[in-house]
């Protein structure tokens, strides 16, 4: 080390590498137009096709009202972690309501989906365990597995023979437990796992099943309760409140004993300030609304069908998407960025997803369709893609 300046060389080097291979990321500041799917970006009005607020609950009057009501009654913060004095009645009531709604023995709220996945896996597995995870699982699940120090093996995306082979060949290797980890709807591809088949494999090989339902909850499954709902054999179901719930936070639905275990041993639950009343209020109202939003879900799925059909007609590849997440797979990073710029110039806000978030050569525009969009918004999206195609 020759001088102070050299201490930070690794930062500059990594950033210039990112810039030179078109992988550099920047924060984009936008101003939402309240109650609409529009945002103002650098003075220009854009239709937001990259929000996870799938049902528009973020600005629903009942959600806002209860959030404000809880803030006025209980304050802006919870004041402490749950095991100290931050476990307010409203946290416990929400957990009871979640367990009842999702038909689980118990539910436990976490501060975010990322935090939950990172801390849960590292609490539920240790260096003597094996975690078998789908290759397309979210980064938070990967971080959780790394932190657990368990042996981690990845099976090819949605390839259940690969999963079975791994389960089979690791049966007699002395692991104290085997966790299989999947998502129900994969976040970058919008495709679906065969959860009931995965659950049968877990039962055949005595493995535990962890299923992240972040993108299905509120949108898919019976009365929008997600794809883990009613599925036998899911030992831990993870839901998030930052997507269709329109708020922030996460929860697990599990057995009462597992909940007690997590309260006693899970660092990401124990050592953090409890979610504030405003957030609990918003989630509480969203939870009441979600089962009633069948019309919104039907509208959303009709939009999804239309957009996918049109993209296919244009010759684009929306992969195996079966949800409101539609990847428009372009391949090259350069062309994806150019398309993203064209979309923005044409009034569409949609994010370009590039490696390392997804695999090399699979750069894409990731569209998310919401029930908040209008027919006019959807037609505009389709029209802009056609214009790019025929440019």
Q: Nearer to ligand PLP by C-beta: 104 or 252?
A: 252
Please identify which residue in 138, 192, 308, 354 interacts with ligand PLP, judged by CB under 6 A. Answer: 138
- 60 flagged as catalytic: no
Residue 253: Cβ within 10 Å count: 26
Measured between alpha carbons, how far is 386 from 190 in angstroms, rounded to an integer?
A: 22
Is 386:380 a contact under the CB 8 Å cutoff?
no
CA within 13 Å, CB half, 158: 13
Residue 228 is a binding residue for ligand PLP (CB under 6 A): no
Residue 187 is a binding residue for ligand PLP (CB under 6 A): yes
Q: Which of the stretches 166-174, 209-217, 293-301, 325-333 binds ligand PLP when contact is defined by CB under 6 A?
A: 209-217
Residue 240 is a binding residue for ligand PLP (CB under 6 A): yes
Q: Nearer to ligand PLP by C-beta: 227 or 378?
A: 227
Q: How far is the CB of 32 from ligand PLP (least distance, A)?
A: 17
Q: How far from the centroid of its chain's Cα atoms is residue 391's Cα?
A: 34
Residue 195 is a binding residue for ligand PLP (CB under 6 A): no
Q: How far is the CB of 141 from ligand PLP (least distance, A)?
A: 7
Of 249, 177, 165, 243, which is closest to residue 207 (Cα–Cα)? 177
Site residues for ligand PLP, 284-303, by CB under 6 A, read none
Q: Which of the stretches 111-119, 153-161, 298-306, 345-353 binds ligand PLP when contact is defined by CB under 6 A?
A: 111-119
Residue 260: Cβ within 10 Å count: 13
- Token reading at 253: 């639905």
Q: How far is the CB of 12 from ligand PLP (least distance, A)?
A: 29
- The set of residues, in sequence order, having a beta carbon less than 8 Å from that of 17 and lying 6+ positions away, is none
- 170 flagged as catalytic: no
Is 140:117 a contact under the CB 8 Å cutoff?
yes
* Length of the chain measured in residues: 391
Query: x/- string (CB under 6 A) for ligand PLP, residues 164-183?
Result: -------------------x
- 243 flagged as catalytic: yes
User: Which of 60, 243, 259, 372 is labelled catalytic?
Assistant: 243
- 372 flagged as catalytic: no
Residue 120 is a binding residue for ligand PLP (CB under 6 A): no
Residue closest to ligand PLP when measured from CB atoms: 113
Q: Where are the alpha helices (DSSP H) in 231-372?
A: 256-265, 267-270, 277-289, 294-314, 333-345
Is 215:243 a contact under the CB 8 Å cutoff?
yes
Residue 111 is a binding residue for ligand PLP (CB under 6 A): no
Q: Nearer to ligand PLP by C-beta: 70 or 210?
A: 210
User: Which of 60, 136, 138, 308 is labelled catalytic?
Assistant: 138
- 309 flagged as catalytic: no
Of 114, 93, 322, 371, which is closest to residue 221 (Cα–Cα)? 322
Count of residues interacting with ligand PLP (CB under 6 A) = 14
- The set of residues, in sequence order, having a beta carbon less than 8 Å from that of 43 and lying 6+ positions away, is none
- 212 flagged as catalytic: yes
Identify any residues that bridge with 351 across adjacent strands, giving them in sequence order: 366
User: Which of 134, 212, 213, 377 is labelled catalytic?
Assistant: 212
What are the start-end ranges of the E strands in the chain?
Answer: 31-32, 38-41, 44-48, 106-110, 130-134, 151-155, 178-183, 208-212, 236-240, 250-254, 325-331, 348-349, 351-353, 363-368
Please identify which residue in 67, 78, 117, 123 interacts with ligand PLP, judged by CB under 6 A. Answer: 117
Of 206, 248, 250, 205, which is closest to residue 226 (Cα–Cα)? 250
Residue 321 is a binding residue for ligand PLP (CB under 6 A): no
Q: Which of the stretches 106-114, 191-199, 365-373, 380-388 binds ligand PLP when contact is defined by CB under 6 A?
A: 106-114
Q: How far is the CB of 387 from ligand PLP (least distance, A)?
A: 30
Please identify which residue in 49, 114, 229, 251 interacts with ligand PLP, judged by CB under 6 A. Answer: 114
Is 193:182 a contact under the CB 8 Å cutoff?
yes
- 215 flagged as catalytic: yes
Q: Which of the stretches 13-21, 85-93, 109-117, 254-262 binds ligand PLP when contact is defined by CB under 6 A?
A: 109-117
Residue 237 is a binding residue for ligand PLP (CB under 6 A): no
Residues labelled catalytic = 52, 138, 183, 187, 212, 215, 243
Interface residues with ligand PLP (CB under 6 A) are: 112-114, 117, 138, 140, 183, 187, 212, 214-215, 240, 242, 250
């Amino acid at each position: 080390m020759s001088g102070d300046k050299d201490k930070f060389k690794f930062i500059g080097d990594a950033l210039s590498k990112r810039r030179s291979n078109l992988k550099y990321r920047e924060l984009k500041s936008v101003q939402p137009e309240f109650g609409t799917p529009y945002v103002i970006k650098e003075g220009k009005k854009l239709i937001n096709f990259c929000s996870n607020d799938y049902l528009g609950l973020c600005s629903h009057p009942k959600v806002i009202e209860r959030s404000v009501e809880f803030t006025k009654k209980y304050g802006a913060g919870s004041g402490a972690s749950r095991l100290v004095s931050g476990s307010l009645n409203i946290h416990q009531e929400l957990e009871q309501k979640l367990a009842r709604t999702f038909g689980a023995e118990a539910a436990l709220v976490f501060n975010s989906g990322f935090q939950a996945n990172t801390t849960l896996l590292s609490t539920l597995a240790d260096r003597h365990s094996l975690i078998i995870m789908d290759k397309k699982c979210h980064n938070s699940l990967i971080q959780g597995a790394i932190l657990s120090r368990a042996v981690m093996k990845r099976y090819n995306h949605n390839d259940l023979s690969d999963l079975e082979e791994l389960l089979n060949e690791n049966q007699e290797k002395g692991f104290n437990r085997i966790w299989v980890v999947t998502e129900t709807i994969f976040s970058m591809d919008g495709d679906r796992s065969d959860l009931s088949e995965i659950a049968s494999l877990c039962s055949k090989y005595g493995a535990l099943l962890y299923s992240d339902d972040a993108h299905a909850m509120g949108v898919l499954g019976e009365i929008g309760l997600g794809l883990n709902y009613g599925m036998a054999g899911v030992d831990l179901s993870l839901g998030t409140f930052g997507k269709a719930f329109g708020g922030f936070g996460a929860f697990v639905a599990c057995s009462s004993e597992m909940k007690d275990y997590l309260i006693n041993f899970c660092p990401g639950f124990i050592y953090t300030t409890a979610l504030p009343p405003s957030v609990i209020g918003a989630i509480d109202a969203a939870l009441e609304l979600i089962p009633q939003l069948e019309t919104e879900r039907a509208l959303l799925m009709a939009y999804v069908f239309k957009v996918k059909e049109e993209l296919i007609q244009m010759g684009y590849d929306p992969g195996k998407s079966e949800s409101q997440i539609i990847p428009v797979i372009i391949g090259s990073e350069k062309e994806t960025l150019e398309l993203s710029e064209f979309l923005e110039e044409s009034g569409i806000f949609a994010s370009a997803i590039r490696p390392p978030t997804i695999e090399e050569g699979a750069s894409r525009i990731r569209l998310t369709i919401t029930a908040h969009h209008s027919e006019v918004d959807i037609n505009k999206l389709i029209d802009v893609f056609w214009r790019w195609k025929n440019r």
